[in-house]
């Protein structure tokens, strides 16, 4: 493991303050980290133009296969409900359902489909499935891309330092994230919006976020009412719980993106990982294993990320050969950061390519 200690020392305190307060964002801005100029790998204009071409066909095929497998596994689960045979059926259903997280993520960029209406339609479905209210999450994720791992400005830093093993264990089954998302959505449904949310969701989107939140809460309540009326957990097993019991694979993939890597650097080659995966996990993850490529060029559709990787791989750190290879680095990195929250993994860069050093106060 290549490392560089004390890469991203926060301006004050024993460790970073991750709250999205006006003061913290001002500090990040003063350090040149907000809406900054990021390192970009060199790609020929003609090549990039071809990579950015959009098409409905790949995404329609992906969505059809995804929904088809979910419906088939749900059908088996319903038919075998009350027997041991429902366990493998719901295990597969939960894994696929939790993959809505990856689809909502990519659809929020508006890139999978050429037809904008299809992006919006499937995004609303996937966002609901993953408990991310669609308007809030679209703006949250926009900020994440603008200020990736910038302390005090990025609302999506998954493993704040020093890492909490308890929180990471809970997040494996979304037992921390989902209650937080639900509580926020319920507050928004009643028109209560925090200053942190207002720091990245524009006023023009507030009404849409509030009405969308009300729809989410209505569907949740109807699902729970169905469970009571049927005296059965089955409606919740189909609509509310799969994001939890299907969560471990999703979280194992998500945490490869940034965990253990430097904060407050302006180079996605340093704060993102690209990991080689097999065909099934690439399908589940919607090619987000090419995460350096996705962050550096977020308007390249997911189905072209493998091609983009081939174009820029010589300008990037070596990719991880497998999911396990990434986790062999992440596990000791997390343990090290529990002792020293300023420490981070350092990825090797070619001496011929420019890198972005951590911005310091």
DSSP result, 93-162: HHHHHHTHHHHHHHHHTT-S-SSHHHHHHHHHHHHHHTT--HHHHHHHHHHHHHTTT-TTT-TT-SSPSS
Residue 271: name the closest of 350, 349, 361, 347 by CA.
Answer: 347
pLDDT in tens, 152-161: 999 999 999 9
Phi-psi region of 260 (alpha: psi -120 to 50; beta: other; left: phi over 0): left
pLDDT in tens, 21-56: 889 999 999 999 998 999 999 999 999 999 999 999
- Domain with 206 in it: 3-32+43-345
Backbone angles phi, psi at 344, to 5 degrees: -155, 160
Q: What is the DSSP letter of 4?
A: E
pLDDT in tens, 203-226: 999 999 999 999 999 999 999 999
Read off the tokens for 267: 């180079």
Instruction: Yes or no: say if 265 and 8 are a contact pair by the CB < 8 Å rule.
Output: yes
Tally of domains within the chain: 1
Rg for the chain (alpha carbons), in Å? 21
Provide, rounded to the nearest whole percent, the portion of the chain with pLDDT above 90. Answer: 90
Whether residue 280 lies inside any domain: the answer is: yes
pLDDT value at 343 more than 50? yes
pLDDT reported for residue 349:
86
CA distances from 44 to 269, 293, 300, 304, 357 (A): 19, 15, 14, 15, 25
**How many Å apart are CA 320 and CA 265, to the nearest integer?**
21
**How many Å apart are CA 52 and CA 41, to the nearest integer?**
15
Whether residue 131 lies inside any domain: the answer is: yes
Q: Which residue has the higher pLDDT, 6 or 335?
A: 335
Whether residue 355 lies inside any domain: the answer is: no
Residues whose CB is less than 8 angstroms from the CB of residue 356 and which lie 6 or more positions away in sequence, other chains included:
38, 39, 265, 266, 267, 270
**How many Å apart are CA 217 and CA 194, to the nearest integer?**
18
Read off the tokens for 209: 């976020």
pLDDT in tens, 315-329: 999 999 999 999 999
Whether residue 195 lies inside any domain: the answer is: yes
pLDDT mean over 289-297: 98
DSSP sequence for 276-299: ---HHHHHHHTTTTBHHHHHHSTT
- Residue 18, classed as helix, strand or coil, is coil
pLDDT value at 271 more than 50? yes
pLDDT value at 8 more than 50? no
Whether residue 91 lies inside any domain: the answer is: yes
DSSP sequence for 165-181: HHHHHHHHTTTTHHHHH
- Residue 345, classed as helix, strand or coil, is strand
pLDDT in tens, 250-268: 999 999 999 999 999 999 9
Instruction: Yes or no: say if 360 and 31 are a contact pair by the CB < 8 Å rule.
Output: yes
Whether residue 56 lies inside any domain: the answer is: yes
Name the helix (H) or strand (E) containing 78: helix 56-79
pLDDT reported for residue 278:
97
pLDDT value at 1 more than 50? no
CA 335 to chain centre: 22
pLDDT band at 287 (very low <50, low <70, confident <90, very high): very high
Whether residue 361 lies inside any domain: the answer is: no
Residue with tokens 């093993």: 165
pLDDT in tens, 69-112: 999 999 999 999 999 999 999 999 999 999 999 999 999 999 99
pLDDT band at 123 (very low <50, low <70, confident <90, very high): very high
Q: Is 248 exposed, middle or buried (0-12, 13-18, 19+ CB in 10 A)?
A: middle
- CA atoms 228, 232, 233, 235: torsion sign: negative
pLDDT in tens, 193-209: 999 999 999 999 999 99
Backbone angles phi, psi at 89, to 5 degrees: -65, -45
pLDDT reported for residue 6:
40
């Amino acid at each position: 493991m290549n490392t560089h200690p004390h890469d991203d020392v926060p301006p004050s305190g024993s460790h970073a303050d991750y709250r999205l307060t006006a003061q913290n964002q001002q500090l990040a801005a003063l350090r040149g980290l907000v809406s900054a100029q990021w390192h970009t790998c060199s790609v020929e204009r003609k090549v990039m133009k071809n990579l950015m071409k959009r098409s409905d066909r790949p995404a329609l095929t992906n969505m059809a296969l995804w929904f088809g497998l979910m419906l088939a596994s749900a059908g088996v689960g319903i038919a075998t409900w009350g027997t041991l045979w429902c366990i493998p059926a719901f295990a597969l259903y939960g894994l696929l359902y939790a993959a809505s997280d990856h689809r909502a993520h990519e659809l929020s960029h508006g890139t999978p489909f050429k037809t904008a209406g299809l992006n919006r339609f499937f995004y609303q479905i996937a966002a609901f499935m993953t408990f991310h209210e669609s308007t809030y999450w679209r703006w949250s994720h926009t900020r994440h891309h603008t200020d990736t791992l910038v302390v005090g400005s990025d609302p999506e830093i998954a493993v704040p330092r020093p890492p909490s093993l308890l929180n990471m264990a809970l997040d494996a089954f979304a037992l921390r994230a989902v209650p937080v998302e639900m509580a926020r959505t319920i507050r928004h449904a009643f028109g209560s919006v925090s200053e942190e949310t207002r720091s990245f969701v524009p006023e023009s989107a507030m009404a849409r976020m509030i009405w969308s939140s009300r729809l989410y809460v209505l569907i949740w309540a109807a699902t729970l009412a169905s469970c009571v009326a049927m005296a059965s957990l089955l409606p919740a097993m189909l609509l509310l719980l799969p994001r939890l019991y299907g969560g471990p694979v999703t979280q194992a993939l998500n945490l490869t993106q940034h965990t253990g890597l430097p904060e407050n650097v302006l180079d996605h080659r340093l704060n993102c990982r690209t990991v080689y995966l097999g065909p099934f996990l690439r399908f589940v993850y919607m090619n987000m294993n090419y995460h350096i490529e996705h962050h550096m060029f977020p308007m390249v559709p997911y189905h072209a990320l493998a091609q983009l990787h081939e174009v820029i791989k010589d300008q990037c750190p070596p990719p991880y050969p497998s999911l396990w290879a990434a986790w062999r680095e992440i596990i000791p990195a997390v343990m090290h950061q529990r002792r020293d929250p300023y420490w981070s993994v350092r990825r090797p860069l070619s001496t011929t390519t420019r890198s972005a050093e951590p911005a310091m106060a």
